[in-house]
């Protein structure tokens, strides 16, 4: 059985939302092996989840989408000043469309976040990591 909905579609919708935020240089639909050199850059991927239903019940997926917004740490003071203001911008953009363009039923709980040092492809970065819980009610394709 195939479904009309997919977790990848939700990830792409999250990245589309983030790419529309002024100043975000890139937000590819799938993580890349190395940053493009333009900052800040967002990557998104699934972390964990679970399914319920099946059989005579509708299949429902509860997933966590992780978004990392990276900025190079070459100049820490500049990196910090650039990346910190994105916290509210990203939350505001996600809350503006809790169905992520109708790719999910809803953002199903609070959005967690963490700020700090990160690494990507061996490069030291600083930035935000968000954990976005989503609920998807799956329908069978015909």
Percent of the chain residues past pLDDT 70, beyond the cut: 99
Residues in a beta bridge with 98: none
Query: CA 132, 102, 94 angle in degrees (round to 5)?
Result: 35
| Interval 15-54: pLDDT, tens | 999 999 999 999 999 988 877 778 999 999 999 999 998 7
Look at residue 95 and tell me if it is in a domain.
yes
Look at residue 135 and tell me if it is in a domain.
no
Structure-model confidence comparison of residues 1 and 53, the more confident one: 53
Mean pLDDT of 48-64: 89
Counting the structural domains of the chain, the total is: 1
* Token couple for 47: 């972390």
Structure-model confidence comparison of residues 25 and 141, the more confident one: 25
pTM of the shown model: 0.93
CA distance 114 to 73: 17
Look at residue 139 and tell me if it is in a domain.
no
Average pLDDT, the chain: 93
Look at residue 47 and tell me if it is in a domain.
yes
CA distance 22 to 5: 29
Mean pLDDT of 55-62: 85
| Interval 98-123: pLDDT, tens | 999 999 999 999 999 999 999 988 88
Look at residue 57 and tell me if it is in a domain.
yes
Look at residue 54 and tell me if it is in a domain.
yes
Domain that holds residue 55: 7-30+38-72+83-124
Residue-level pLDDT at 1? 66
């Amino acid at each position: 059985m195939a479904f009309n909905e997919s977790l990848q579609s939700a990830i792409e919708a999250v990245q589309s939302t983030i790419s529309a935020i002024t100043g975000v240089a890139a937000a590819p639909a799938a993580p890349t092996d190395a940053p493009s050199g333009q900052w800040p850059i967002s990557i998104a991927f699934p972390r964990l989840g679970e399914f319920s239903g099946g059989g005579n019940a509708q299949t429902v997926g509860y997933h966590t989408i992780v978004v990392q917004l990276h900025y190079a740490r070459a100049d820490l003071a500049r990196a910090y000043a650039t990346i910190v203001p994105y916290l509210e911008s990203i939350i505001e953009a996600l809350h503006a469309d809790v169905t992520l363009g109708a790719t999910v039923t809803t953002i199903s709980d609070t959005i967690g976040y963490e700020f700090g040092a990160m690494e990507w492809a061996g490069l030291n970065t600083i930035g935000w990591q968000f954990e976005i819980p989503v609920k998807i009610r799956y329908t069978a394709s015909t």
